[in-house]
């Protein structure tokens, strides 16, 4: 269900086409892979037929040369199918993944995830995901933080995605809300730490419970690769000052750095998340707030949220209690009693 005005009034509506209607970008396997496959195919295509001919000339049974020729054909088919056939094709309307045994197609309006992966560049929607075999990033490169061909291609696709779904921005104030990119887990960790460390020190005493940087960074890595979760950054004059992450009905993470609070950025992010949730058809939006975080509870209540009565323990020690809050979708008609 589409809701009119589901983004703030200062949303940029112009959508600049990233490429002409008929243009297509195609990526195949990397040059080293193609060279190795070509050498393999050339060797198989020359050496084995020669061997089959020599065996035949030697007076052996014709079945052996025939078998060698069949193996040659199979090897060449294998080289083509796994080396030359896989492609990643992108045009103005779709992203198409062609793997050895299956083809996937995603409309730009369906895409929720683009990220480099060990088994291929990961493209996903809320319904399914696929890995483009021809664009891979090794585990070693990921551990070392090296920017590889897979990252460069991912960046190009992310730029094209941003043209189809442009950031929300107000050029007069320099405020912009944009999608977080898959390599920004460290930035999000830093923002969350800055936003919560001082404000929640009375709940998580730093002397007893040092901030779990590694655990939070791993969580953000998972969030950024979750095709069901949408993560956005709020920037002021291109400087990140806040973040929000949400799925189809729940706002999971929200924060603004201390020096930028009380300027409406938190409410702007929350309203943005709610409007996106409502645009997906949800009747209600939910979030979880620490029970002892009275300032946050007051913030949500002032924006029309109410407590549901649900409780749970938070994920980090000393595992304080959290409560669920809810805001009804004002665009969905309610049944009268």
Q: What pLDDT shows up at residue 20? A: 45
Two structure tokens written together for 109: 């309006």
CB 287 within 8 A of CB 325: yes
**Whole-angstrom distance, CA of residue 120 vs CA of residue 129:** 11
CA quadruple 163, 165, 169, 174: dihedral sign: negative
The residues, any chain, with a CB within 8 Å of residue 207's CB and separated by 6 or more, are none
Q: What pLDDT shows up at residue 335? A: 57
Q: What pLDDT shows up at residue 317? A: 94
Q: What pLDDT shows up at residue 22? A: 53
CB 223 within 8 A of CB 245: yes
Q: What pLDDT shows up at residue 2? A: 29
For the chain, which ranges sit under pLDDT 50? 1-21, 336-337
Q: What pLDDT shows up at residue 55? A: 87
């Amino acid at each position: 269900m589409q809701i009119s005005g589901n983004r703030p009034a200062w949303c940029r509506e112009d959508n600049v086409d990233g490429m002409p209607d008929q243009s297509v970008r195609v990526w195949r396997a990397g040059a080293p892979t193609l060279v190795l496959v070509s050498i393999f195919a050339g060797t198989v295509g020359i050496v084995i037929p020669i061997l089959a001919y020599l065996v035949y000339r030697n007076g052996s049974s014709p079945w052996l040369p025939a078998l060698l020729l069949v193996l040659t054909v199979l090897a060449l088919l294998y080289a083509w199918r796994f080396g030359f056939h896989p492609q990643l094709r992108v045009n103005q309307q779709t992203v198409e993944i062609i793997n050895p045994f299956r083809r996937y197609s995603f409309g730009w309006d369906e895409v929720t995830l683009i990220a480099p992966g060990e088994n291929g560049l990961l493209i996903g929607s809320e319904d399914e995901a696929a890995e483009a075999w021809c664009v891979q990033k090794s585990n070693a490169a990921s551990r070392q933080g090296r920017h590889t061909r897979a990252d460069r291609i991912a960046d190009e696709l992310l730029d094209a995605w941003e043209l189809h779904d442009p950031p929300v921005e107000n050029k007069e104030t320099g405020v912009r809300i944009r999608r977080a990119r898959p390599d920004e887990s460290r930035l999000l960790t830093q923002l969350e730490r800055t936003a919560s460390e001082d404000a929640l020190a009375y709940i998580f005493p730093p002397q007893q419970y040092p901030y779990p940087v590694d655990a939070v960074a791993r969580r953000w890595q998972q969030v950024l690769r979750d095709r069901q979760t949408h993560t956005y950054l709020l920037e002021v004059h291109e400087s990140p000052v806040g973040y929000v992450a949400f799925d189809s009905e729940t706002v999971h993470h929200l924060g603004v750095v201390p020096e930028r609070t009380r300027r409406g950025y938190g409410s702007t992010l929350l309203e943005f998340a709610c409007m996106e949730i409502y645009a997906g058809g949800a009747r209600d939006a939910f979030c979880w707030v620490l029970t002892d975080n009275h300032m946050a509870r007051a913030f949500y209540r002032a924006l029309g949220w109410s407590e549901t009565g649900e409780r749970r323990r938070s994920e980090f020690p000393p595992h304080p209690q959290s409560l669920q809050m809810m805001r009804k979708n004002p665009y969905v008609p309610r049944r009268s009693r």
